[in-house]
A and B are shown apart, each in its own frame.
Chain A
Amino acid sequence: MNRNILAYLFVMSLVSFIIRVLPVTLIRRQIKNRFIRSLLFYLPYATLAVMTFPAILSISENPLCGAAAFAASLLTAWFTKNLFLSAIFGCAAAFLTALLI
């Protein structure tokens, strides 16, 4: 069983590594194409937004906890632009909501 798990871990790690390093090592020129540059500009915002919502609603059985965290982090990020505060207030909102319901 143990050896089996190590084999799985090797497969997982190898695939993860290849996916991560292939583009960044193969693409060396600056991409001039306006569409591609625009695409790459918007990409992180789309990816991170898609990954955040509605996944944040699933942190607890009750979606209200995640909704409270979402609202708290949105407001904190908008007004403070601070990564750490945004995370802390999100956690605090989720915790307080969980206590109240």
Chain B
Amino acid sequence: MEKNKKISPFVKGLRDGLPIGAGYFAVAFGLGIAAQQTGMTPLQGFIMSFFNHASAGEYAGIAAIRSGAAYLETAMLILIANARYLLMSTALSQKLSPNLSLFHRLLIGFSITDELFGIGIAYPGFLDPFYMYGTFLTTTPLWASGTAIGITAGNILPDIVVRSLSAAIYGMFIAVIIPPCRTNRNITIVVLVSFALSWLMSVIPAFASISEGFRIIILTLIISSLAAFFMPLPEEEVTTA
């Protein structure tokens, strides 16, 4: 903690973004291979990933392009696949100083990904915009260039390597949610119930047809609502940021 005080939030963001960016690169590479099938050029892949930077959302978009979906249908697909960012953006609004300018809010909102949200929400106190910009600058260019290189390189790397590297993103999710379980029993319950229900919904035929995006929204809302109802934060913690 003493050591961390000496480096600026921006540099800390750049540094914290690196492992995420490394994972992004691998996943974006696979995304690029999928994008290649739509006839997308590397530059178009770069543009898509720079502005969308969301794996589920981009996969949905690629599927829409491939099937020649209408633009309105594409918009709906993106909305569904990315709707969890509405929730994350709402949660992040509570991590910002009330005086933070619209400009910073737009940029912070634009930078939201599952992983950057994860480390942004873990930032002590009010979220420093420059911390987010640091993480954005080491992750999104890697995400975007990973897509472009995936389109270009196609299947040069052995499949086994690409598949193994795609475990990285989950390793990072796990590193965000598991350490707090050591000290907070309620978080442990939420994580275990989430794992279990998510697995059940993917196995039970009636639910398995629900898109991944919708499954994430429904389960997230139900589980966190129940947790908030049955295990509310103590009043003291409620009043501090």
Instruction: List the interface of chain A (C-beta within 8 A of B).
Output: 1-2, 5-9, 11-17, 19-32, 34-56, 59-60, 65-66, 69-70, 72-74, 76-78, 81-95, 98-99
Contacts and interface: CB of A to CB of B under 8 A. Distances in A.
Contacts of B224: 39-40, 42-43, 46
Given A35-B229, A45-B177, A50-B194, A69 B167 contact: yes
A94 to B, nearest CB: 4
Given A13-B51, A52-B174, A24 B19 contact: no
Contacts of B219: 46, 50
B207 interface: no
B89 A44 contact: no
Would you call the interface of chain B mostly helix, strand, loop, or mixed?
helix
Interface residues of B, number: 103
Contacts of A36: 228
Contacts of B241: 30
A41 B199 contact: no
B151 to A, nearest CB: 12
A77 B168 CA distance: 12
A47 B92 contact: no
Given A24-B105, A65-B163, 10 more contacts: A15-B75, A24-B93, A25-B102, A32-B239, A38-B227, A41-B228, A42-B224, A44-B91, A56-B170, A78-B182
